[in-house]
Amino acid sequence: MSDFSNKSVVVTGGAKGIGSGIVKAFAEVGARVACVDTDEVAGQQISEDIEGNSGDIRFYNVDVSDASKCKSLCDSVVSDWGGIDVLCNNVGIQPTSSYLPAHELPDEMWDRIVDVNLKSHFLMSKYSLPHMIEAESGVIINTASVQGLQSAMGVSAYAASKGGILSLTRQLALEYARYGIRVLAVNPGTVDTPLVEEARIYTGQTREELNQEAVESHPIGRMGVPSDVAGAVIFLASEEASFMTGSYVNVDGGLMAKGAWA
Q: From the candidates 60, 127, 158, 176, which is the catalytic residue? A: 158
CA distance 241 to 192: 27
Interacting residues of 234 by C-beta distance below 8 A, sequence separation 6+: 1, 2, 25, 26, 29
CA neighbor of 262 nearest in space, from 91, 98, 145: 145
Q: Which amino acid is at 53?
A: N
CA neighbor of 22 nearest in space, from 168, 249, 211, 235: 235
Can you name the residues that pair with 38 across neighbouring β-strands? Answer: none
- Torsion over CA: 31, 36, 40, 42 (sign): negative
Q: Is 182 helix (H, G, I), strand (E, B) or coil?
A: strand
CA distance 243 to 259: 27
Read out DSSP for 53-118?
A: SSSEEEEEE--TTSHHHHHHHHHHHHHHHS--SEEEE------GGG-B-GGGS-HHHHHHHHIIII
Question: Annotated catalytic, 127?
Answer: no
How far, CA to CA in Å, does 138 sit from each of 8, 46, 84, 135, 223? 10, 25, 7, 8, 31
Query: Does an H or E element contain 27, and which?
Result: helix 17-28
Q: Which residues are catalytically annotated? A: 158
